[in-house]
Amino acid sequence: MLVGGSLVPKRDAKVLAGLSYREQQLLDRITKGYTNQEIAERLGLSIGTTKFYLTQLFKKMRVRKRLQAVIPARNQLP
């Protein structure tokens, strides 16, 4: 499946398309290598809220590590 000019497996494209705006924001920051603290500061969140959102994001993406979330995201996010 061609998504955003890149080939993304169909399952990954569906998952990425189903993310909320906030989840997309966090995923974008993860792909840029931001730490949890940097994400929290840039989005105006507490570190606890940031960790909560990341946990929800990883569950939705069915991954356990940042790198596993970054791989499909790198193909879709600008």
Determine the average pLDDT of the residues in 10-23: 73
Compute the distance between CA of residue 46 and CA of residue 29 in angstroms, rounded to an integer: 15
Q: Decide if pLDDT at 3 tops 60.
A: no
Domain count, the chain: 1
The whole domain housing 24 covers 6-74
Q: Decide if pLDDT at 7 tops 90.
A: no
The enclosing domain of 53 has a CATH number of 1.10.10.10
Question: Which residue in 11, 5, 49, 57 sits closest to 31, CA to CA?
Answer: 57
pTM: 0.73
Q: Decide if pLDDT at 37 tops 80.
A: yes
pLDDT at 6: 43
Residue 1 domain flag = no
Cβ neighbors of 5 (< 8 A, separation 6 or more) are: none
